[in-house]
Structure 1
Amino acid sequence: MLTCWLLGIMEGSFLEEFFGDSVNVNGFKVLKKNAPMIQEIFSKHPNIASGLRVHFLTSINVFMNTLAVVCKTATKEKVTWEEIELMEKGIVVLELAGFEISWLKLIVVQHREEVERNEKIESMEAQLKVLKENQNKLIEEHKSKRQTPIRELFTK
């Protein structure tokens, strides 16, 4: 469905309904809930849309809302793999449209690296737990096999 929006082939009534609860930010029509994020983006990156290759206004508006969603997700402290994948897909589409978002791409890469690092740590902790359990089992087996305590062997 997003592809249809991006190509601008959806019916006008649907688009009016979709953008019905919208406001104008820097000449772009965005959903009210996305307006603060778009305003913040333009304040920090005023030339973000200067290289746009898309000229169909409705598609540009959809891209702006996509940008807002990706940025909102990127500003979260912790993200899931699913969110990372969605952000990466959004970035690909936004870059193809001509948005200058290298700064956003860097944030998503950092999120990916953090999730990968955390998964690796969790995996290593799980392996360590298994090793400790195996070590304890071996110690218990060894203790149960000994009939005479070692101290007694040396005191006689």
Structure 2
Amino acid sequence: MENQADNKFTWVIENFSTLQSQVVSSDEFVIGGCKWRLLAYPKGFNKSGYFSLFLEVADYKSLPSGWRRHARYLLTIVNQNSGKCSKRNEANKCFDHKIPGWGLSAMLPLTKLHDEDSGFLVNDEVKIVAEVEVLEVIGKLDVLEESEEANQSLKRIKLDYDSADSINLHKEISPVMESIDVNGFQVLPSQVDFVRRIFEKHPDIALEVRPKNQYLRKACMNFLLSLIETLCQSLQELSNEDLVEADIALTYLKDAGFKLDWLEIKLDQVKEKKKEEEINEARMQELEKELMDIKKTCLDMEALLEKEKANMFAARRASLTLEDVV
């Protein structure tokens, strides 16, 4: 069951406990002139033990070469008992043919999801809300917005394929979403402070960046910001797949000429912490098992003790009579 209002899409997964598929998808929905869909893994992505949730460009296989969507999104698994306890994942990402979907493989532990008192699974239904703000589109829109206000809600770069000899770039720039130059990189107003802070702490970060085209440089900067956001997630939210993707992203940016020794150190630290977390979790599970075994042994010993007490009291009561002796 789905429902959509403005830039918000609500998806209710019914009969959740009886789902057999590894992945289920919502109906397509349109926000910012782009078609999207939600992908959920009821048993966890790669059997991770967590409910996994992703936002994906619905028709990415049919889009022309070079397409990209830059969007800010908020995915929420609604706690139907208390909205404050809902599980959320907010990010600012670039979607393209290499990575058409973003989300979290470790969105919510399955044990917590299936806990009848948790509030996430009510009447065998899981409620998910996706809020999407499209910031930039490279390539044609999937659906043309009817209102002028909607047309100006994002910055669009349309690729004109009418001519076989050339590709003409047409830009429609909304004053609200106008890019701002920060050290030679065009960034969104919402990104300015963050990017300036990066250059203040690491002034030599982009001295040897090879791409000179402003759109490629902008894409690289968005890639860098997404990588930093990934590393800022909690260890519980951060999966090993995320760390593998972070490694790939770091290599890509270094190949483009970014000086990211400091970020590589941070990534190694996060990897080490994630490894420690997994070791601690495994050790905790071992201790819990040992404790359960000890408790079982204690219960068995208590039962044996009670049996011996009963035998002792029975023996005391069974005193011999004179006739038994004589």
Regarding TM over 0.5, the answer is: yes
2:184 pairs, out of 3, 14, 27, with 27
Residue number in structure 1 paired with 2:308: 148
* 8 A Cα contact 1:22 1:32, kept in partner: yes
Residue number in structure 2 paired with 1:7: none
Name the structure where helix makes up a greater proportion of residues: 1
2:207 pairs, out of 50, 66, 74, with 50
CA–CA separation in structure 2 for the residues paired with 1:124 and 1:53: 47
The Cα offsets for residues 66-94 of structure 1, whole Å up to 9 and x where unpaired, read as 11222234345655125434432321210
Deviation at 1:46, TM superposition (A): 1.1
2:238 pairs, out of 77, 80, 83, with 80
Alpha carbons of 1:64 and 1:18: their partners in 2 closer, same or farther (altered >3 Å)?
farther
Alpha carbons of 1:3 and 1:24: their partners in 2 closer, same or farther (altered >3 Å)?
farther
CA–CA separation in structure 2 for the residues paired with 1:17 and 1:91: 32
The Cα offsets for residues 118-144 of structure 1, whole Å up to 9 and x where unpaired, read as 121122111101111111111221332
Residue number in structure 2 paired with 1:97: 256
Whose relative contact order is higher, 1 or 2, with alpha carbons under 8 Å and at least 6 apart? 1
- Structure 1 range deviating more: 49-58 or 88-97: 49-58
How many residue pairs match? The answer is 145
CA-based RMSD of the aligned residues comes to 2.9
* 8 A Cα contact 1:37 1:71, kept in partner: no
Name the structure where strand makes up a greater proportion of residues: 2
- Structure 1 range deviating more: 38-47 or 140-149: 140-149
CA–CA separation in structure 1 for the residues paired with 2:229 and 2:218: 17
* 8 A Cα contact 1:37 1:72, kept in partner: no
- Matched position secondary structure for 1:36: helix
- Matched position secondary structure for 1:148: helix
Given the alignment of the two structures, is residue 126 of structure 1 paired with residue 271 of structure 2, yes or no? no
Query: Structure 2 stretches of 5 or more lacking a match?
Result: 1-67, 69-95, 99-137, 140-156, 160-168, 313-326
Return the letter of the residue paired with 1:37: F
CA–CA separation in structure 1 for the residues paired with 2:223 and 2:238: 18
Residue number in structure 2 paired with 1:67: 224
